C-alpha cells in the first residue's frame, strides 16, 4: 500500500516535470533567439557561443520601447483609476437600492458584457475620428474603461451585496453622513479585495491590449508596447533575433509583477473570469 502510493507519487511528479518542461519550450526558444547576433541563423535550440546582449539595447532604441513603455503605463494607470472610481460608485446603488430603474440598469450593464467591442469597430472608429481623439492617450483610456466597466460593476455589486453589512451604512446615516460620505468613507475602504481584483484585471488586459491600440494609436508618439512590437516585427521580418529581444523587453514588466504578486494575480483573474 505504502509502496504503491510512493510509486504513484513519483510517476505523477515526473509527469508534472514533463508538463513544466513542455510549457517552457517557447520561452527557451525565445531566449536563445534573442541572444543570437544579426545574421546568425543557427538552430534556435542551441545558445550561441557569444551572447549578443546588444540585441536588447538595439531593440530598445529602434522600436522606441522606452516611449511605448511610458504610453502603456499612463494608459493602464489612468484607466485603472477611472475603472475603480466610476465602477465602484456605480455598483453601490445597483447593489443596495432595488428600485425598478436600478434593476433595469443592472441588467443593462450585465448584458453589455456579451457585446464584443470589435463587432462595433467600424462605427467606433468613425466616432473617434469625428470627435478628434485619434492618436490620444485619452481615447485608449476611455475605450478600455468602457470595455471593462460592466465587468467591474458586476464584481463590485456582487461583493457589496454579499459581504458589506447594511447596518454599517444605516448607522452612518443616522449619524447624518451624506450618501457620498457613506460610500467613500465607510463602504469603499471595505471593498479592497474586489479593488485588488479589478486592478489586476485592468493591469493585465489593458497593459496587453492590442485590439483598441492598433486602431486608435497608430502614431509613433502614442504607440503602446504591443503596437510598437507589431510594427517592429513588420520592419524586421528578416532579423527575428532583434524582434525576440524586443518581445522579451515588452513582456518583462508584467512577468516580474506576476512573479512577485502571483497569489493576487491568480485570485484576481479567476474572480474576473467568473463573469459567465
Of the ranges 25-33, 51-59, 62-70, 184-192, which one interacts with other proteins (CB under 8 A)?
25-33
Q: Report, in Å, the least distance between residue 52 CB and other proteins.
A: 16
What contacts 225, CB < 8 A, 6 or more positions away?
65, 68, 69, 72, 207, 250
Q: Report, in Å, the least distance between residue 45 CB and other proteins.
A: 6
Q: Report, in Å, the least distance between residue 12 CB and other proteins.
A: 5
CA distance 181 to 188: 10
Q: Report, in Å, the least distance between residue 53 CB and other proteins.
A: 19
164 makes contact with other proteins (CB under 8 A): no
Binder of other proteins out of 102, 231, 236, 239 (CB under 8 A): 102
114 makes contact with other proteins (CB under 8 A): yes
What contacts 38, CB < 8 A, 6 or more positions away?
52, 239, 241, 242
Residues 198-237 that bind other proteins (CB under 8 A): 204, 207-208, 210-211, 214, 225-226, 229-230, 233
Residue 179: closest CA among 61, 92, 83: 92
Of the ranges 57-65, 95-103, 158-166, 191-199, which one interacts with other proteins (CB under 8 A)?
95-103
The gap from C-alpha 35 to its chain's centroid, in whole angstroms, comes to 28
Of the ranges 51-59, 62-70, 114-122, 188-196, which one interacts with other proteins (CB under 8 A)?
114-122
C-beta separation of 139 from 216 below 8 A: yes
CA distance 147 to 125: 15
Buried b (16+ CB within 10 A) or exposed e, 192-215: eebbbbbbbbbbbbbbbbebbbeb
Residues 46-85 that bind other proteins (CB under 8 A): none
89 makes contact with other proteins (CB under 8 A): yes
Amino acid at each position: 500500500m505504502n509502496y504503491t502510493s510512493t510509486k504513484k507519487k513519483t510517476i505523477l511528479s515526473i509527469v508534472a516535470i514533463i508538463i513544466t518542461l513542455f510549457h517552457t519550450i517557447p520561452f527557451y526558444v525565445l531566449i536563445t533567439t534573442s541572444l543570437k547576433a544579426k545574421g546568425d541563423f543557427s538552430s534556435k535550440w542551441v545558445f550561441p557561443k557569444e551572447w549578443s546582449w546588444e540585441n536588447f539595447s538595439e531593440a530598445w532604441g529602434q522600436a522606441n520601447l522606452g516611449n511605448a513603455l511610458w504610453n502603456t503605463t499612463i494608459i493602464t494607470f489612468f484607466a485603472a483609476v477611472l475603472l475603480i472610481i466610476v465602477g465602484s460608485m456605480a455598483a453601490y446603488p445597483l447593489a443596495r437600492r432595488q428600485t425598478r430603474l436600478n434593476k433595469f440598469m443592472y441588467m443593462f450593464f450585465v448584458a453589455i458584457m456579451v457585446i464584443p467591442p470589435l463587432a462595433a469597430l467600424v462605427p467606433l472608429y468613425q466616432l473617434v475620428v469625428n470627435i478628434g481623439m485619434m492618436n490620444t492617450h485619452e481615447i485608449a483610456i476611455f475605450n478600455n474603461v468602457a470595455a471593462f466597466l460592466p465587468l467591474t460593476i458586476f464584481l463590485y455589486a456582487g461583493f457589496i451585496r454579499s459581504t458589506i453589512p447594511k447596518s454599517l451604512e444605516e448607522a452612518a446615516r443616522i449619524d447624518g453622513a451624506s450618501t457620498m460620505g457613506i460610500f467613500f468613507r465607510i463602504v469603499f475602504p471595505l471593498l479592497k479585495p474586489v479593488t485588488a481584483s479589478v486592478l489586476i484585471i485592468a493591469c493585465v488586459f489593458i497593459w496587453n491590449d492590442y485590439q483598441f491600440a492598433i486602431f486608435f494609436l497608430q502614431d509613433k508618439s502614442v504607440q503602446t508596447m504591443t503596437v510598437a512590437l507589431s510594427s517592429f516585427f513588420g520592419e524586421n521580418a528578416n532579423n527575428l533575433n532583434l524582434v525576440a529581444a524586443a518581445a522579451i523587453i515588452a513582456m518583462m514588466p508584467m512577468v516580474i509583477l506576476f512573479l512577485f504578486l502571483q497569489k493576487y494575480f491568480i485570485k484576481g483573474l479567476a474572480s474576473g473570469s467568473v463573469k459567465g
